[in-house]
Structure 1
Amino acid sequence: MVKETAVEVIDLTKTFKGKIALQKVSFTVESGEMVALVGASGSGKSTLLRHLNGLERGESGVVKVFDFSLQSEGKFHSKIRQLRSNMGCIFQQFNLVKRLTVIENVLVGNLGQISLARSAIRYFTKAEKIQALCALERVGILEQAYKRASLLSGGQQQRVAIARCLVQGARIILADEPIASLDPESARKVMELLSELNQQNGITVISSLHQVQMVQRYFPRAVALKQGEVIFDGLTSNLDQNRLNQLYGSAAKELVLSGHGE
């Protein structure tokens, strides 16, 4: 059985003020894969993720999502909002509206299904609220549904972001350093949840991570970047000490031993 291609990147190039951020980056992610983006700070991981979800536009190259060009040769697709509805995003700094309740945060982020006007005035149907509550139950924080988001711990806030992806119906989750600001136990719970959604729901997960042990534990495949170029794409089991030294330099041993943190 031939797998569907979820994301395809072809020769993607980006510069900032004359400095190369991405240099002819190419790789393909099949539907249902769980792929880690690894590399030192400034290697291009976050920049690449921002191009995958249409927040940044490259100078050249192509980004395809389920065979539709999200962007091509410096231009976005005319239906980029519709294409982006396939993708849920999780950020390092949680990206929630702190003054809203948890359930409102889940519903407001439901791109592609709720109009901007309804989202702005926070008008939601009973069915939509039930769907949101089911998603919060799925991620284990149903009891927090009507609390202000500002009262939640970091780990709980990341689970709200994951619930938002579920309600959105995202087929792909893009996560940018989702556990960088969390304590080890909260980080483990978030990674276990992403792994469960990948294995049980078939959701494609692409995540940037600094934590090498987490990459090796939860991700079968890694794409490694250095100075904006892909220098490794393969099984995480093949990320040996020599390759880690090439990626992280003198920090490699510390990253492996600590397992968590920058």
Structure 2
Amino acid sequence: MTTTVAIEVTDLSKSFKSKPALKNIFCTIKQGEMVAVVGASGSGKSTLLRHLNGLLSGDSGRVAIFGTALQTDGRNHSKIRSLRSQMGCIFQQFNLVNRLSVIENVLIGNLSRLSLVRSILHLFTKQEKLQALAALERVGILEQAYKRASMLSGGQQQRVAIARCLVQGAKIILADEPIASLDPESSRKVMELLVELNRENGITVVTSLHQIQVVRNYFNRTIALRTGKVMFDGATLELNNAKLQEIYGAATDELVMRGHSDIA
């Protein structure tokens, strides 16, 4: 049986003010894979993820989602909104609307499917609300549904963001440093939840991380970037400290030291 390609990046390059951020990136991620993107600060991890969901456009190259070009040589597909609806995004700073309730933040995942009037007025059906409550139960914070988002801990807020992806019906979750702002226990819960959604729901998960020990605990495949280039793409087991030293030199300490948080 042929495995569907979820994400395909072909010769993608991007510069900011003539400074290269991504250089001739090639990678293919199959549906149902769970892939870590690692690198020291400034390696291009967040920039790559923002190209995968169309928040940034490359100078050259192509990004395709389930076989359809999201962008080609800096030009976005005319139906980019529809393509992006298949991808849920999780960010380091959670990207919730603090003044809204938790359930309202989760329901925002439905906006791409709603009419303009329903979107503006946040008019949701009973079925949509039940779906949001089910998503909150799935991520383990149903009891927080009617609290203001600002009242939740960082780990709880990140789980709200994941519930929003579930309501959205995302086939791909792109998580940009999702545990960077969390304590070890909250980090562990978020990573275990992403693993569960990958294994049980078949959701493709691509996560950028600094902490190499976290990567070793949860990911079978790793893509390592340095100064915008892919320096390694393969089995995480092969990305040992010697290989990290070969790729990053003195910057290896940034990855290894940050990996000492005990979230296994």
Bucket of the pairwise TM-score, normalised by the shorter protein: over 0.9
Structure 2's unaligned 5+ residue stretches are: none
Give CA-to-partner distance per residue, 1:81-124, whole Å, 9 cap, x none. 00001000000000000000000001123243223431221110
Q: Residue 40 of structure 2 contacts residue 255 of structure 2 at CA under 8 Å; is this kept in 1?
A: no
* SS of aligned partner of 2:113: coil
CA distance in 2, matches of 1:177, 1:116: 32
CA distance in 2, matches of 1:72, 1:257: 38
RMSD: 1.3
Aligned identity (percent) is 68
- Alignment of 1:136 with 2:136, yes or no, is yes
* SS of aligned partner of 1:97: coil
Structure 1's unaligned 5+ residue stretches are: none
Q: Residue 65 of structure 1 contacts residue 83 of structure 1 at CA under 8 Å; is this kept in 2?
A: yes
Residue 201 of structure 1: aligned partner: 201
> What's the CA shift for 1:254?
6.0
Q: What letter is aligned with 1:193?
A: L
- Alignment of 1:223 with 2:223, yes or no, is yes
Deviates more, 1:244-253 or 1:7-16: 244-253
CA distance in 1, matches of 2:260, 2:178: 12
Q: Residue 184 of structure 1 contacts residue 260 of structure 1 at CA under 8 Å; is this kept in 2?
A: no
Closer, same or farther: CA 84–260 of 1 in aligned 2, 3 Å: farther
- Alignment of 1:184 with 2:178, yes or no, is no
Q: Residue 97 of structure 1 contacts residue 149 of structure 1 at CA under 8 Å; is this kept in 2?
A: yes
> How many pairs does the alignment contain?
261
- TM-score scaled by length of structure 1: 0.96
CA distance in 1, matches of 2:187, 2:175: 13
- TM-score scaled by length of structure 2: 0.96
Q: Residue 9 of structure 2 contacts residue 64 of structure 2 at CA under 8 Å; is this kept in 1?
A: yes
Q: Superposition pairs for residues 14-53 of structure 1, below 5 Å?
A: 14-53=14-53
> What's the CA shift for 1:241?
1.2
Q: Superposition pairs for residues 36-115 of structure 1, below 5 Å?
A: 36-115=36-115
Deviation >2 Å, runs of 4+: 109-112, 114-117, 246-261
Closer, same or farther: CA 44–99 of 1 in aligned 2, 3 Å: same
Closer, same or farther: CA 111–225 of 1 in aligned 2, 3 Å: farther
> What's the CA shift for 1:240?
1.2
> What's the CA shift for 1:257?
4.9
